[in-house]
């Protein structure tokens, strides 16, 4: 282990603030599990020189408001990896490394902000878009966070990195570790990780342990392990992950000509991503680059809904872990580490937390697929949640909405095939489905058809399809 000496909090461009007791520590003084030694809460990264009122942070921005927007945009046309990365082209807002040479990047980010015209029309919305984070190098939003936090591990001289994962974090971590020549240890729940994700972890050379437990059980083992062995924890309790994951906020407003969407909707699992995006928007607001925050809402699967229950039962005052069960395996999490961060975001931005059923996720996934972009089941929860928020009158026709699609459709082909073959849901789930939803699912399903290799047979099928 080659850890560098600890700098004083004042010397560093960044420090960590405990969200529980407001304590400030230097980045290198964080505990191995990234919990506050005084109160056990999580940290967030702070940049006193950029954002404190007395330092009038804007001064640090030599470019000025228009200059910085142009600089960020111009970097997309550069041939340097750092500039081409949709995370590091915003590096003025990421001053937590000592040396840019330590950055490990796969040129992540710069993902598309697609319009969803057919979904919008069905819902009576004028402006519905999807920020497709599944278009990142390893196919999920985790890449934006991984380039940030793994670069810290690299800079601090760690050889090993580790995470507990429902599959996407491990895929991203394995890839970035391989790029850096570091070693990766992955803990995943046996049998509950989509094949695409498991395959990635193996492909990128990680040591992959399928533990006979769920995600929450994997987290328990890992938390103890990082205390005993010199491995760097890369779960989203690591606050540097969220620094990378805040950058899609910059991309969204940039792609909307610096207008802020009225609503941003994310799927909720371990509940870190909403707060990462909120931090991005908050920093843009503090710098005067935007004039308000969007409402940020979090959608959970009914079978993995601890935040939803915390709000409906206890007004958000406490959370009770649940035994999580959902086919959207990415968000199959019963004891989310970052629930207080998520709660704060809902309160700060006036967003909501909703839960959606397996049937609603399935229909939404097919609808996003039918737009020609696809996504993984957890991501589709955002569209299912949007429908609920519209039905409750919380989101209105004229308002702009951005759904954050967190993972690529190719991550979990088994789910998609089962959905279209009609074998995804149980008989009970099918019966319990409202008739309108049943009809919708049936109209979207496109089961593959096995047939003789004859032009006539295929023509007959085509004819039938034209008449429908
Ligand atoms: N969507 C996808 C595709 C995910 O992989 C995850 C989390 C989430 C949403 C939820 O994000 O945890 O910030 O609320 N996946 C983690 C993993 C837990 O291990 O890949 P969150």
Whole-number Å distance between alpha carbons of 153 and 437: 47
Q: What percent of the chain has pLDDT over 70?
A: 95
Any ligand 1 atom below 6 A from CB of 166:
yes
Instruction: Quote the ligand 1 centre to 62 CA distance (angstroms).
Output: 36
Confidence of residue 6 (pLDDT cuts 50, 70, 90): very low
- Taking only the tens place, the pLDDT of each residue in 250-297 is 999 999 999 999 999 999 999 999 999 999 999 999 999 999 999 999
Any ligand 1 atom below 6 A from CB of 287:
no
Whole-number Å distance between alpha carbons of 336 and 31: 19
**Which residue has tokens 């710098």?**
287
Instruction: Quote the ligand 1 centre to 184 CA distance (angstroms).
Output: 19
Q: Is residue 13 a contact partner of residue 208, using CB atoms and an 8 Å limit?
A: no
Mean pLDDT of 430-438: 95
Mean pLDDT of 166-183: 98
Confidence of residue 468 (pLDDT cuts 50, 70, 90): confident
Angle ∠(402,304,377) on CA atoms, nearest 5: 50
- Ligand 1 pocket: which of 368, 406, 409, 410 to mutate (most atoms <8 Å of CB)? 406
- Taking only the tens place, the pLDDT of each residue in 136-161 is 999 999 999 999 999 999 999 999 99
- Ligand 1 pocket: which of 172, 215, 242, 331 to mutate (most atoms <8 Å of CB)? 331
Whole-number Å distance between alpha carbons of 348 and 456: 62
pLDDT at 20 over 60: yes
Phi and psi at residue 209, to the nearest 5°: -110, 120
Q: What percent of the chain has pLDDT over 90?
A: 93
Confidence of residue 8 (pLDDT cuts 50, 70, 90): very low
Q: Please name the residues in contact with 272: beta carbons below 8 A apart, sequence gap of 6 or more.
A: 236, 237, 241, 242, 245, 337, 338, 341, 342
Mean pLDDT of 379-395: 98
pLDDT at 3 over 70: no
* Token pair of 60 as six digits: 């640090």
- What pLDDT is recorded for position 64? 78
What does the mean pLDDT of the chain come to? Answer: 95
Whole-number Å distance between alpha carbons of 18 and 24: 6
Instruction: Quote the ligand 1 centre to 123 CA distance (angstroms).
Output: 26
- What pLDDT is recorded for position 10? 43
- What pLDDT is recorded for position 467? 87
- What pLDDT is recorded for position 308? 98
CA-proximal residue: ligand 1, atom 9 (nearest): 267
Any ligand 1 atom below 6 A from CB of 165:
yes
Least confident of 2-16, 18-32, 49-63, 197-211: 2-16
Confidence of residue 54 (pLDDT cuts 50, 70, 90): low
Any ligand 1 atom below 6 A from CB of 297:
no
**Which residue has tokens 């509950």?**
192
pLDDT at 298 over 70: yes
- Ligand 1 pocket: which of 273, 277, 382 to mutate (most atoms <8 Å of CB)? 273
- What pLDDT is recorded for position 62? 62
Any ligand 1 atom below 6 A from CB of 345:
no
Least confident of 64-68, 316-320, 380-384: 64-68
Any ligand 1 atom below 6 A from CB of 326:
no
- Taking only the tens place, the pLDDT of each residue in 205-259 is 999 999 999 999 999 999 999 999 999 999 999 999 999 999 999 999 999 999 9
Confidence of residue 49 (pLDDT cuts 50, 70, 90): confident
Q: In sequence order, what E strands does 203-258 have?
A: 207-211, 231-233
- What pLDDT is recorded for position 51? 83
Nearest 10 degrees: CA dihedral of 115, 119, 121, 127? Answer: -40
């Amino acid at each position: 282990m080659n850890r560098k000496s600890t700098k004083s909090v004042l010397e560093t461009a960044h420090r960590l603030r405990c969200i529980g007791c407001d304590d400030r520590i230097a980045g290198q003084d964080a505990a191995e599990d990234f919990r506050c030694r005084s109160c056990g809460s999580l940290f967030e990264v702070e940049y006193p020189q950029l954002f404190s009122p007395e330092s009038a942070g804007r001064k640090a921005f030599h470019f000025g408001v228009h200059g910085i927007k142009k600089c960020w945009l111009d970097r997309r046309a550069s041939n340097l990896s750092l500039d081409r990365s949709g995370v590091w082209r915003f590096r003025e807002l990421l001053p937590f490394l000592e040396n840019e040479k330590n950055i490990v990047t796969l040129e992540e980010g710069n993902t598309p902000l697609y319009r969803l015209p057919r979904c919008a029309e069905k819902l009576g919305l004028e402006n519905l878009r999807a920020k497709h984070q599944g278009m990142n190098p390893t196919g999920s939003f985790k890449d934006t966070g991984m380039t940030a936090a793994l670069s810290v591990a690299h800079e601090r001289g760690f050889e090993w990195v580790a995470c507990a994962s429902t599959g996407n974090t491990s895929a991203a971590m394995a890839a970035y570790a391989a790029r850096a020549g570091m070693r990766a240890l992955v803990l995943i729940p046996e049998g509950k990780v989509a094949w695409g994700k498991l395959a990635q972890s193996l492909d990128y050379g990680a040591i992959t342990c399928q533990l006979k437990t769920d995600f929450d059980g994997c987290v328990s083992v890992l938390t103890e392990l990082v205390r005993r062995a010199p491995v760097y924890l890369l779960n989203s309790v690591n606050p540097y992950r969220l620094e990378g994951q805040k950058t899609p906020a910059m991309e969204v407003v940039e792609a909307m000509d610096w207008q802020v969407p009225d609503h941003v909707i994310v799927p909720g699992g371990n509940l870190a991503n909403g707060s990462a995006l909120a931090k991005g928007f908050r920093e843009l607001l503090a710098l005067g680059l935007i004039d308000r925050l969007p409402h940020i809402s979090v959608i959970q699967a009914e079978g993995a809904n601890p935040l939803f229950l915390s709000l409906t039962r206890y007004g958000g005052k406490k959370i009770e872990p649940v035994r999580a069960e959902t086919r959207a395996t990415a968000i199959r999490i019963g004891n989310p580490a970052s629930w207080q961060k998520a709660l704060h975001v809902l309160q700060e931005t006036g967003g909501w937390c909703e839960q959606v059923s397996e049937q609603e996720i399935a229909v939404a996934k097919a609808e996003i697929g039918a737009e020609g972009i696809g996504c993984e089941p957890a991501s589709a929860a955002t569209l299912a949640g949007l429908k609920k928020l519209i039905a409750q009158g919380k989101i209105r026709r004229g308002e702009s909405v951005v759904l954050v699609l967190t993972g690529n459709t190719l991550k979990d082909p088994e789910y998609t095939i089962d959905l279209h073959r009609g074998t995804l849901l149980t008989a009970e789930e099918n019966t319990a489905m409202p008739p309108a939803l049943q009809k919708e699912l049936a109209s979207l399903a496109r089961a593959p058809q096995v047939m003789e290799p004859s032009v006539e047979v295929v023509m007959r099928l085509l004819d039938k399809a034209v008449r429908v």
